[in-house]
Amino acid sequence: MRALIYHHEAPGDPTLISWIMERIDHFLHLDTMSLVLIFGALIATIPITIIILYFLNSRIPEDPSASK
């Protein structure tokens, strides 16, 4: 029954989202497109780094003496 009380039709609280956006704008003084590009680059960097490290690690030959 409590789930009906706390249910909101939006994916996030609009008041909270606008407050967060105001705080980010206040501290960074950047326009919206710059923030999208910066956060997009940060988000894309994580999987790219994981893939690069995976391929670098797979190229290193295993030491046969380590398994003995």
pLDDT digits (tens, 9 = 90+) for 18-48: 898 889 888 888 888 888 899 999 999 999 9
Give the residue from 43, 22, 47 showing the smallest Cα distance to 32.
22
pLDDT band at 15 (very low <50, low <70, confident <90, very high): confident
pLDDT at 21: 82
From CA 29, how far away is CA 8, in angstroms rounded? 31
pLDDT at 5 over 80: no
Helices (H), 1-68: 2-6, 14-28, 32-59
pLDDT at 1: 45
